[in-house]
Structure 1
Amino acid sequence: MTALFRLIQIITIVLRYRLHGLLPERQLPWGARLLLRLLNLLPDTPLSRGERLRRCLEELGPVFVKFGQLLSTRPDLVPADIVSELDHLQDNVTPFDNQECRQIIESSLGQSIEQVFTHFESEPLASASVAQVHAARLNLPQGEKEVVVKVVRPGIEGTIEQDIALMYLLARLVRRFTSDGQRLKPVEVVQEYEHTIFDELNLQREAANASQLRRNFAGSPLLYVPEVYWDYTRRNVMVMERIYGVPVTDMEALAAQDTNMKALAERGVEIFFTQVFDHNFFHADMHPGNIFVSHQHPQQPQYIAVDMAIVGSLTQADQYYMARNLIAIFRRDYRLVAELHIQSGWIAPETPVSEFEGAIRTVCEPIFEKPLKEISFGQIVITLFQTARRFNMEVQPQLVLLQKTLLNIEGLGRQLYPDLDLWQTAHPFLERWLKERFHPRSLMQQLRRYGPELLEQAPQMPHKLSDALDQIKQISDMAPDLHSAAETLNESRQRSGRARRRWLVGLLAGGGALITALPAAGIELDQIPSQSWLLAAIAVWAWLTR
């Protein structure tokens, strides 16, 4: 199926569930508002808006389900009735056929279910967008072990490939036709997401991530990661130790075992910063369905993490600039924050430092030293976006996973302990990390690690420097021609944009006149076949891509 037909399918599903009614009409351009009012003439559905959105995301597939999972952790941004429905996306997606599941396991392991397991539960413990999990008892020489068996949904790769192709197409349209297209780097963001989601389909990669995370927190009172049984793990099947814990959002169960909620929230923050800065290897899919709390030591609670399919890491430069930025914000040194953004290349070097400093102060000062419950992160995100747009700040694709994880952590913290002082918890950790980073012992470790490579490359440095200077001269000679070509291309795009606006006005006006005239001709809107709406979608597509 091509991206065009996938787009038509998405439009059809969205219209079927009447999701256009959830759009903020007042914030849309006038042309989109007119189109929205025409769509509102379609027959309504008895389902609630939350159920409509959930069913639509489930029908659209795993890429959209994961988007719904992220929304379900943001009760400050999403109405409660919608969050309640989206919670079902965490691990209650409709499972696939049990017989097909057994065939996948037996084919991958090369043995029958009865040979590998002394017991295998046909009904899944959980069913998510990409895979489902079954409880079992593994037959080992040293005895039985309680395990879970994770199996990738059959045929899922084809669906994801279609959605990724469509996302690339939409990203290119955004980059080409919007004023923020270059700054937002939509194509690069889609590339980053493509690598992430296809990695999630490879359970051997997830198993490797789990093993690394388990080593990082071996013996730690903060986080426990279950053991992977590598002899029974393949690309589409993984066998892992079964854990027992309280779902992190089950507030009643946590209260019943007398969990110290303040310590639980603070340890969550400590785990996040330890992963990002000490280990540079962080669990990047920390939605509530993947996080549990141990029954042991409730006054010193320990987290249990599952589903390590998506992990992230930063370059040393990004790691350094992130830590320096956060510490500067904690110290209210907004001048340093502005300078660090310029040094890191996140904004243009010609940006006026004083103006950018004032903009950052405006965003950060009102939230400083407030508990989590008094901070509207939704409003902060909007304000930061406006600030980024004003100063032409580019999206950093390599930080997208970190930003997603931060949203999950903040949403989790808000549910667990709204009085958490995020600043007081995180500040000492980052101060310690920076001191250790520049400690002579750390510098010597870095020198021992990278010294041989530097010595190996040293004799070649004069030749590389000479080649670099020659390339710079060639680029300088080409600059006038490139500038002239860019001006010609810009003029062409402006003419094309004016033509498209005229086409849009004509299309909307014609569609409005047609819909208005239909009732007078004795034709009701619900009598129009869905193919007609698809043809209308194709017309809009043709206008966008002509």
Structure 2
Amino acid sequence: MSTFAAFGRLLGAGLTLVRYDALAPRELDALYPPALRGLTRALRLLSGREAKQGRPGERLAHALEHLGPVAIKLGQVLSTRADIFGAVFAEDLSRLKDRLPPFPLEEARREIALSLGQPAETIFAELGAAVAAASLAQAHEARLHDGRRVAVKVLRPGIDRRVAEDSEVLALAARLIERFAPALSRLEPSAAAATVIRATQMELDLRLEAAGADELGEIMARDGYMAAPKVVWLGVGKRVLTLEWAPGRPLSSPEALTLPGLDRKRLAEHLTQAFLAQALDHGVFHADLHEGNLFVSAPAEIVAVDYGIIGRLGAPERRYLAEILWGFLRRDYRRVAQVHFDAGYVPRHHSVEAFAQALRAVGEPVFGRNASEVHMSRVLLQLFEITALYDMHLRPELVLLQKTMMTVEGVARRIDPEHDIWKASDPVVTRWITRELSPVSRVQRLISEATEALRAITRIAEAQQKPVMVVQPEADHRRLIWFAIGAAVAGVAFVAAQIFS
């Protein structure tokens, strides 16, 4: 699609929001400044009959559904934050999670046959109508010939083209923001858009999702906070994924939180701890943990589905995340500030002490208070103001992490309005700090790094062993290796002395 066509679609998206009165809803007129109020009233002259039907959240849900899969993903994230946007608004958006219009069963059968290279009847003894439909795919209840109950996920026909078009529009919107709204450039719109686009494109190959489900299933089994259905590899293709049926009720259903024997406090804690354990301990996490992808059962069991978006963190990012959380848990704002500087999140021309003071202003009002007493919209606004004051840019490698953290906290608060995210995080973060930052772990990490450095030096030396150009390659090689070993041993001894002194 050309830039001109993408611009046309972007303009069309804006008009769609105006038509549904979802861009600047009339219900909020009293909150707009006079100049904006006049503009919104003028725009409403372009609205259609859709603008007069339903609440703001319902109108936005219909508009996003009309705009396509990428817009629907945004609506799913917004729907998890009732504490920011209000319970009614979030509930009105919740239909975007798994209650979109399905496509016919016969089309699903054709997609299965094309993707797996054989008729659906060869693999499935029974294949029912869609039980849930989302932006990219829908799920069918089925039964294998051996009697196992399974869920079959099938991509929507033509979704590849729609995602490609939406991606170009999103990339164009990001470029326009960077050009015409320089104050928002620190949010790195193009880099953030690229991350979202890449994640969405990965969702279009269900073989990758099957691998992600299998990998995270093994990881979840070690911690016990969450579980994943087993993959039925016989029913996996590029556009089809088959998993064993997830037990429990979907968290998006109204009756899920009223199940007999359900411990809502523990359930919310398990959700928070599952995400943190995946991210910190293993560096890989389910990055789409909204209610439509979670099944719950008493007393506090969680099964996650839909592994199309997997987040990954490198060792440095995991360490920074753990130390930031640890500092907040101990209310050590100086340490939290220093980690931000060490990670490069805050430019070094700022003062560590001044940044620690700003973090204290955010952290202290929320400690010791119930979640229901904390207005997250105000906290987020304060954080946004502070990040602007200290020239903090969005980190593209952390986009999925930040998006998932926001979603998890919102879902946990819906499960338990009194959820204390800091208290729930403490056991996982403390375990990581105790294990990874202990004296023994530090020495082991240094030895590992020294060994890797020695290997790199050896590879360089071997690459440079050219008899024509070097008089004594073997002797030089040996001296280089012994020098590296000596330096590594000296470094380990120095650090060990510092740690154990």
Match of 1:330 in 2: 329
The one-character-per-residue Cα deviations of 1:120-177 (angstroms, maximum 9, x if unpaired) are 11x20111100011111112xxx22211111111111211112211221221122223
The one-character-per-residue Cα deviations of 1:166-208 (angstroms, maximum 9, x if unpaired) are 2212211222232324311111111111111111111011100
Secondary structure at the counterpart of residue 78 of structure 2: helix
Match of 1:66 in 2: 73
Match of 2:170 in 1: 167
Give yes or no for the alignment of 1:6 onto 2:9: yes
Match of 2:57 in 1: 50
Pick from 126, 132, 138: which aligns with 2:138?
132
% identical aligned pairs: 36
Match of 1:234 in 2: 237
Moved more, 67-76 or 41-50: 41-50
Secondary structure at the counterpart of residue 41 of structure 1: helix
Match of 2:119 in 1: 112
1:17: how far off?
1.5
Pick from 254, 276, 280: which aligns with 1:273?
276
In 2, Cα distance between equivalents of 1:43 and 1:9: 13
In 1, Cα distance between equivalents of 2:255 and 2:6: 46
Give yes or no for the alignment of 1:385 onto 2:384: yes
The question of whether the paired residues in 2 share the 8 Å contact of 1:249 and 1:416 is answered with no
The one-character-per-residue Cα deviations of 1:348-374 (angstroms, maximum 9, x if unpaired) are 101022321221111111111222222
The question of whether the paired residues in 1 share the 8 Å contact of 2:246 and 2:295 is answered with no
Secondary structure at the counterpart of residue 394 of structure 2: coil
In 2, Cα distance between equivalents of 1:461 and 1:338: 38
The change in CA–CA distance for 1:387 and 1:440 in structure 2 (over 3 A counts) is: closer
Match of 2:39 in 1: 35
Give yes or no for the alignment of 1:264 onto 2:267: yes
The question of whether the paired residues in 2 share the 8 Å contact of 1:120 and 1:137 is answered with yes
1:461: how far off?
6.7
The one-character-per-residue Cα deviations of 1:31-63 (angstroms, maximum 9, x if unpaired) are 755432321334663311332211111110011
The one-character-per-residue Cα deviations of 1:412-440 (angstroms, maximum 9, x if unpaired) are 12122222332222223212211211346
The one-character-per-residue Cα deviations of 1:511-541 (angstroms, maximum 9, x if unpaired) are xxxxxxxxxxxxxxxxxxxxxxxxxxxxxxx
Moved more, 450-459 or 52-61: 450-459
Superposition pairs for residues 170-185 of structure 1, below 5 Å?
170-185=173-188
1:213: how far off?
0.9
Give yes or no for the alignment of 1:315 onto 2:314: yes
The change in CA–CA distance for 1:165 and 1:211 in structure 2 (over 3 A counts) is: same
Give yes or no for the alignment of 1:19 onto 2:25: no
What stretches of structure 1 of length at least 5 have no aligned partner?
Answer: 465-546
In 2, Cα distance between equivalents of 1:276 and 1:159: 31
The question of whether the paired residues in 1 share the 8 Å contact of 2:175 and 2:189 is answered with yes
Pick from 154, 159, 182: which aligns with 2:157?
154
Give yes or no for the alignment of 1:421 onto 2:420: yes
The question of whether the paired residues in 1 share the 8 Å contact of 2:229 and 2:243 is answered with yes
Moved more, 390-399 or 330-339: 330-339
In 1, Cα distance between equivalents of 2:457 and 2:75: 51
In 2, Cα distance between equivalents of 1:181 and 1:21: 20
The question of whether the paired residues in 2 share the 8 Å contact of 1:342 and 1:349 is answered with yes
In 2, Cα distance between equivalents of 1:193 and 1:254: 31
1:451: how far off?
6.4
The change in CA–CA distance for 1:460 and 1:178 in structure 2 (over 3 A counts) is: farther
| CA RMSD between the two structures | 2.5
Q: When the two structures are superposed, what TM-score results if normalisation uses the length of structure 1?
A: 0.78
The change in CA–CA distance for 1:171 and 1:409 in structure 2 (over 3 A counts) is: same
What stretches of structure 2 of length at least 5 have no aligned partner?
Answer: 464-501
AA paired with 2:124? Answer: F
Match of 2:86 in 1: 79
Q: When the two structures are superposed, what TM-score results if normalisation uses the length of structure 2?
A: 0.85
